[in-house]
Amino acid sequence: MEKLMKREKEVSTLTSQIEALKSQIGALESKVHSGEKKAEALAKEKMRVEAELEAMTKKSHDASGQLVSISQELLKKER
User: pLDDT tens digit string along 13-50?
Assistant: 999 999 999 999 999 999 999 999 999 999 999 999 99
In a 3-state reduction of DSSP, which class is residue 79? coil
Q: In this structure, which amino acid lies at residue 49?
A: V
Cα separation, 18 vs 50, whole angstroms: 47
Cα separation, 70 vs 73, whole angstroms: 5
- Whether the predicted pLDDT of 10 surpasses 90: yes
Cα separation, 59 vs 36, whole angstroms: 35
**What does the pLDDT read at residue 79?**
84
In the chain, what percentage of residues exceed pLDDT 90?
91
pTM reported for the whole predicted model: 0.61
**What does the pLDDT read at residue 50?**
98
